[in-house]
Amino acid sequence: QSYLDRIAAHARLNAFREVYADEALAQAAELDARIRAGEPVGALAGVVVAIKDVICYAGHHVGAASRILEGFVSPYSATAVERLLAADAIIIGNLNCDEFAMGSTNENSAYGPVRNALDETRVPGGSSGGSAVAVQADLCMLSLGSDTGGSVRQPADFCGIIGLKPTYGRISRYGLIAYASSFDQIGIFGKNIADVAKLLQTVAGPDQFDSTASQLEVPDYQALLDHNKSWKLAYLKDAIRHEGLDPEMKAGFLNCFEEMEQAGHTVKAVDFDILDYVVPAYYVLTTAEASSNLSRFDGVKYGHRTAHANVALTDFYKLSRSEGFGKEVKRRILLGTFVLSAGYFDAYFTKAQQVRRLVMNRINAILEHYDAILLPTVPSTAFKLGEKMEDPIAMYLADIYTVLANLVGAPAISIPLTVHSNGMPYGIQIITRKFDEANLLGLAYTIN
């Protein structure tokens, strides 16, 4: 009830798409009765969680914040949701985001932007802006988002909280509405590492419904947090030197590296001269995958259907899709269709795949010699509402530090570092080897 009251009091932030008030209260009452009767309860009993509007929950609306899915009710639950419920977590509602998880500010939602609770004239980041603000403003304890190119880490950074993108395949994508299937991963928002570790523990692991979900066993992350290890860390020279990085933040990162050294860790600068290619490669590959994934929304199978039904079939598709999709989604479908077209496939799609392979090899080579890579999460603090909307390229370029982990498939986390003189928080990002969430969380725990 106290979370429901806070959600109502913070409606202006526009973080939630729907609140499951009666259901959540009934679940809480049922848990209470079980506890009083001395019955066993799950690992997340009573933990209040909310989920991004791209994660399916049986019998509930799911819309990817798009008009094209207006009114659609999911017939099944995502594996992550099933596991939350099995652990007795209380799912209190679903959260606003950029349409189909495409964006960095939450301004691409068909249901209006989310506001940053620290400064309502600023964006919370995106695409999981609602998921970040719900935790930031204590409207729930933990939340799920999705991270294709930074959509968990970037809004966590802008909101001053923790955002984890696990290894590609660590959490099943079954029931996650696809944006770019070889990049997408469900991620976790929280205010402390132990909570995030516990939630990951609950939802991660093999799943017969997702063949890309890893068969690897899930370690006991919480038990692994408490170690006094001396870390061998690398930072990318080209990332810290980058002209787009806010100078005050640059000084903040260098200061952090120095403090880590003084605390007995090794911190070395390494070269990564292909940094400028990661954003172009990411946008070529993800728009290509998106143009294919989003072809299923045709006005027939789901959600919005044009009222002009008395037309030829192709016109029916065109009308339904033109009416249902927003501007940014259309831009990406067009771009993705273009890079996949016969005449341009080799010049763009194949080339971007080659860049992806090169980036993977380079990052993996660094991680053979170091426990982790330290990196900024975003080059600046939270943008003002509207600031980047007229310039999509400028918005894309701000993804430079986050898309790296998705291109590689490696796990990455953003944890709050300090507050900028403009009053907004910013975080530091850590990347480790694939499936090494234990060290990722352990190091985050040390720095935090």
Applying CB under 6 A, the residues found at the interface with ligand GLN are 101-104, 127, 146-151, 179, 286, 399
- Residue 288, C-beta contacts closer than 8 angstroms, at least 6 positions apart: 336, 339, 340, 349, 352
Q: Which neighbouring-strand residues pair with 78?
A: none
The catalytically annotated residue of 104, 127, 146, 414 is 127
Least distance from C-beta 26 to ligand GLN, angstroms? Answer: 33
The catalytically annotated residue of 52, 165, 198, 434 is 52
Least distance from C-beta 53 to ligand GLN, angstroms? Answer: 12
The reply to whether 172 belongs to the active site is no
End-to-end CA distance of the chain: 31
Cβ distance to ligand GLN smaller for residue 88 or 289: 289
Could you tell me how many residues make up the chain? 448
* Other Cβ atoms closer than 10 A to 241: 11
With vertex at residue 276, the alpha carbon angle to CA 109 and CA 253, rounded to the nearest 5 degrees, is: 80
The reply to whether 198 belongs to the active site is no
Least distance from C-beta 179 to ligand GLN, angstroms? Answer: 6
Question: In what helix (H) or strand (E) does residue 132 lie, and over which residues does it extend?
Answer: helix 129-136
The catalytically annotated residue of 74, 104, 128, 151 is 151
Cβ distance to ligand GLN smaller for residue 236 or 290: 290
Distances (CA, A) of 277 to 172, 291, 347, 380: 29, 21, 14, 20
Q: Say whether 291 sits in a helix, a strand or coil.
A: helix
Q: Rounded to 5 degrees, what are φ and ψ at 411?
A: -80, 150
Least distance from C-beta 138 to ligand GLN, angstroms? Answer: 24
Cβ distance to ligand GLN smaller for residue 31 or 134: 134
Q: Which two tokens stand for residue 41?
A: 């309860």
Q: Which two tokens stand for residue 272?
A: 């990564």
Distance of CA 74 to the CA centre of its chain: 21
The reply to whether 151 belongs to the active site is yes
Say if residues 155 and 125 touch (Cβ distance below 8 Å): yes
Cβ distance to ligand GLN smaller for residue 103 or 130: 103
Burial class, 160, CB count within 10 angstroms (exposed 0-12 / middle 13-18 / buried 19+)? buried
Cβ distance to ligand GLN smaller for residue 104 or 320: 104
Cβ distance to ligand GLN smaller for residue 149 or 175: 149
Least distance from C-beta 13 to ligand GLN, angstroms? Answer: 20
Least distance from C-beta 69 to ligand GLN, angstroms? Answer: 16
**Which residues are marked as active site?**
52, 127, 151
